[in-house]
């Protein structure tokens, strides 16, 4: 069965549509996702029947349901496990696994992309600098060097095909003293040997002409015009979407727990809910690639995580620099950069701290100080006053000096794509080509699939349209007239589209649409996004999570807690609510504060604030576009 013939409907939608008596084709035309099929987890979306030739998949906890078709997924689901037959299983849906999945979709192969998080890109690929490196940093002759330069050159096409924001803004490595000029020359020579086009050494005046915001201490610079910036998670989502549209099966929320071998050859990989029978496995599991190797008895390398903290500044100061500004590198990293992101913010970072903890994504005072001291040395007007968000990512540094991209020497059929630290984002498209070549050389039969379509339709970005275009959209679809995120002007229609493209969590919506990424960081829009997720996924609001299991946001409605008072909620529920509120407050949501203060949460954040906002009137322009909100007077409690 073809992916295009499948609709994803939640339970409510199935009931609603069945009542209308429309044919499947009419329903399809009406609104539901016409192309890609996203299977967040084998356990949640189950085929339930055919209406006029269309397969409905709906969200259910029903057991022993037979899967009748769906995007290459074949087999019968019992209570515990589905057996899926695949030619290639890719473990890890970061930018690397996603790029490999899309590359393999060019061939007549059954490809399964397996991800343990509920969405793609939730590993390192969502938390990095987003720089498309030019390629002068890496030692000539290494995979890092060749794949970086090759990957960089592929970005114009890939960004155009997938409608992903990408800009060649140039990379500028600055020398702050005469001693550092020698390092610039070494990198100029290194870049030339790596094949980086257009490299130039600039004196202080030339550098400042290019970047007037540079510190007076800058004495020279190395300029690479091919350097760029991309949105790393948008790229990953788009790669996955396009892979799915071309027949790849995506299994999210499915941690690989074991790899089955027979006579030293891969036979299957196992997740808690499925056995994927396959002779070829690509290990693109990022920080956990060594654990995947160990599952197949291959302990030839070890991942040694290195943390990087980054700080995002308000768009107000988005034009401090045009190029990505680098210092001369340290032995373990490219140093702390000043990056004009593709979305128009400035970002500063990252630090480089070795850690044993593969889940440590905390930011620290020391990291903050190191980042701003280094960034301000190069660009003095960078200021911590402009911070709107901070985050940390973990590089999958490893026991070898280079990327590890090779067939396992222990388990036949297993190909490692490990140790993909920076410039892994840049190199991802080239890594994907290389992996396809390795699979072919190792004996996988690969016939080109003529139907491969490299184009992914662009999502609408309401904020980027002219007034006239916006008005036309609102007239055709009223959900474009309902603004969900005011900071970034994101509409309800865009949020719904993001969910239909695969978002399952508040973070998933945020990363796809930018709802919650503006100055108020979700204080206004998060409750709205939660309600839309709840409606579209057919789950109660309290089951909506920030980023998957263990991150519920509103286990109890704050309004009910506030109104009823603690006694009525009950001691047990109260204790639970307290515990959950702790978790929420760790996630930056002020539920606990709301409970304590007996008012809406601070700064308008969290569900409490939403219940306040709900009392009042939406203000609209004549063309129907929402421009504001007139709050009703509060009565106090």
Ligand X SMILES: Cc1cc2nc3c(=O)[nH]c(=O)nc-3n(C[C@H](O)[C@H](O)[C@H](O)COP(=O)(O)OP(=O)(O)OC[C@H]3O[C@@H](n4cnc5c(N)ncnc54)[C@H](O)[C@@H]3O)c2cc1C
Q: Which residues bind ligand X (CB under 6 A)?
A: 91-97, 114-117, 122-125, 128-131, 133, 255-256, 284-288, 292, 308, 310, 350, 393-395, 420-426
| Beta strand 626-631 pairing with 616-620 | antiparallel
| Nearer residue to ligand X within complex by CB, 113 or 484 | 113
Measuring CA to CA, how many Å separate 466 from each of 365, 461, 473?
42, 11, 11
| Least distance (Å) between residue 625 CB and ligand X | 36
| Nearer residue to ligand X within complex by CB, 372 or 480 | 372
Residue of 420, 321, 460 whose CA lies nearest to 123 = 420
| Nearer residue to ligand X within complex by CB, 413 or 481 | 413
C-alpha dihedral (481, 487, 492, 495), degrees to nearest 10: 150
Q: Which of 133, 137, 187, 416 is catalytic?
A: 133
Measuring CA to CA, how many Å separate 384 from each of 326, 339, 365, 380, 621?
19, 15, 12, 11, 37
| Nearer residue to ligand X within complex by CB, 363 or 611 | 363
Give the containing element (helix H, strand E) for 627. strand 626-631
| Least distance (Å) between residue 403 CB and ligand X | 9
Residue of 227, 97, 234, 92 whose CA lies nearest to 159 = 234
Residue of 439, 528, 545 whose CA lies nearest to 485 = 528
Which pair of tokens denotes residue 454? 């490299």
Q: What is the SS3 assignment for 492?
A: helix
| Nearer residue to ligand X within complex by CB, 245 or 348 | 348
| Beta strand 228-230 pairing with 166-167 | antiparallel
| Nearer residue to ligand X within complex by CB, 123 or 191 | 123
Are the CB atoms for 104 and 248 separated by under 8 Å?
Answer: yes
133 counts as catalytic: yes
Helix-, strand-, coil-residue percentages of the chain, each rounded to 5: 35, 20, 40
| Nearer residue to ligand X within complex by CB, 251 or 583 | 251
| Least distance (Å) between residue 384 CB and ligand X | 18
| Least distance (Å) between residue 402 CB and ligand X | 13
| Nearer residue to ligand X within complex by CB, 92 or 527 | 92
Helices 232-245 and 424-442: crossing angle in degrees, nearest 10, is 30
Q: How many CA atoms lie within 13 A of 247 on its CB side?
A: 21
Could you give the residue ranges of the DSSP H alpha helices within 81-218?
95-104, 143-162, 178-194, 204-210
| Least distance (Å) between residue 155 CB and ligand X | 11
Give the containing element (helix H, strand E) for 234. helix 232-245
Query: What is the rounded distance in angstroms from the CA atom of residue 470 to the CA atom of residue 404?
Result: 48
Residue of 117, 128, 114, 132 whose CA lies nearest to 280 = 114
**What is Dmax (Cα atoms) for the chain?**
77
Catalytic (active-site) positions = 133
């Amino acid at each position: 069965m073809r992916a295009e013939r499948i609709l994803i409907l939640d339970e409510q939608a199935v009931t609603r549509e069945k009542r209308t008596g429309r044919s499947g084709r009419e329903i399809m035309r009406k609104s539901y996702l016409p192309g890609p099929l996203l299977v967040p987890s084998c356990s949640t979306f189950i085929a339930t029947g055919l209406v006029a030739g269309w397969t409905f998949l709906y969200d259910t906890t029903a057991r022993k349901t037979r899967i009748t078709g769906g995007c290459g997924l074949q087999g019968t689901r019992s209570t515990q496990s589905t057996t899926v037959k695949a030619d290639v299983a890719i473990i890890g849906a970061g930018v690397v696994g996603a790029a490999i999945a899309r590359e393999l979709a060019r061939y007549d192969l059954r490809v399964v992309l397996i991800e343990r998080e509920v969405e793609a890109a939730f590993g390192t690929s969502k938390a990095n600098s987003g720089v498309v490196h030019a390629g002068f940093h890496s030692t000539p002759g290494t995979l890092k060097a060749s794949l970086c330069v090759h990957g960089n050159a592929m970005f114009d096409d890939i960004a155009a095909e997938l409608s992903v924001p990408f800009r060649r803004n140039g990379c500028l490595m600055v020398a702050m003293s005469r001693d550092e000029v020698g390092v610039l020359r070494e990198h100029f020579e290194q870049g030339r040997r790596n094949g980086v086009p257009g490299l130039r050494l600039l004196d202080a005046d030339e550098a400042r002409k290019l970047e007037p915001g540079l510190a007076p201490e800058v004495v020279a610079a190395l300029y690479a015009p091919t350097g760029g910036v991309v949105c790393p998670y948008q790229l990953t989502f788009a790669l996955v979407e396009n892979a799915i549209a071309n027949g790849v099966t995506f299994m999210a929320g499915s941690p690989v727990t074991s790899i089955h071998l027979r006579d030293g050859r891969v036979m299957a990989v196992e997740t808690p809910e499925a056995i994927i029978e396959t002779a070829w496995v690509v290990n693109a599991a990022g920080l956990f690639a060594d654990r995947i190797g160990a599952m197949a008895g291959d302990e030839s390398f070890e991942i040694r995580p290195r943390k990087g903290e980054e700080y995002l500044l308000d768009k107000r100061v988005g034009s401090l620099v045009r190029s990505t500004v680098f210092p001369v590198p340290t032995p373990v990293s490219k140093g702390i950069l000043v990056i004009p992101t593709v979305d128009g913010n400035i970002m500063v970072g990252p630090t480089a701290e070795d850690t044993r903890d593969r889940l440590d994504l905390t930011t620290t005072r020391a990291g903050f100080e190191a980042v701003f001291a280094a960034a301000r040395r190069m660009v003095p007007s960078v200021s911590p006053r402009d911070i709107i968000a901070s985050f940390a990512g973990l590089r999958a540094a490893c026991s070898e000096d280079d990327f590890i991209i090779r067939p396992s020497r222990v388990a036949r059929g297993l190909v490692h794509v490990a140790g993909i630290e920076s410039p892994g984002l840049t190199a991802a498209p080239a890594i994907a080509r290389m992996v396809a070549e390795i699979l072919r050389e190792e004996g996988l039969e690969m016939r080109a699939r003529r139907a491969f379509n490299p184009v992914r339709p662009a999502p609408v970005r309401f904020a980027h349209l002219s007034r006239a275009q916006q008005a036309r959209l609102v007239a055709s679809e009223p959900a474009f007239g309902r603004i969900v995120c005011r900071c970034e002007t994101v509409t309800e229609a865009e949020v719904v589209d993001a969910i239909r493209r695969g978002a399952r969590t508040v973070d998933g919506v945020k990363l796809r649409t930018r709802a919650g990424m503006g100055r108020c960081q979700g204080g206004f829009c998060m409750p709205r996004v939660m309600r839309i997720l709840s409606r579209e996924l057919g789950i109660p609001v309290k089951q909506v999570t920030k980023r998957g299991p263990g991150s519920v946001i509103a286990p109890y409605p704050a309004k009910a807690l506030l109104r009823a008072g603690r006694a009525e909620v009950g001691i047990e529920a109260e204790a639970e609510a307290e515990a959950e509120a702790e978790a929420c407050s760790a996630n930056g949501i002020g539920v606990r504060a709301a409970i304590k203060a007996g008012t809406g949460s601070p700064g308008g954040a969290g569900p409490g604030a939403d219940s306040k906002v709900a009392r009042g009137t939406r203000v609209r322009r004549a063309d129907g576009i929402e421009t504001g909100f007139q709050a009703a007077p509060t009565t106090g409690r």
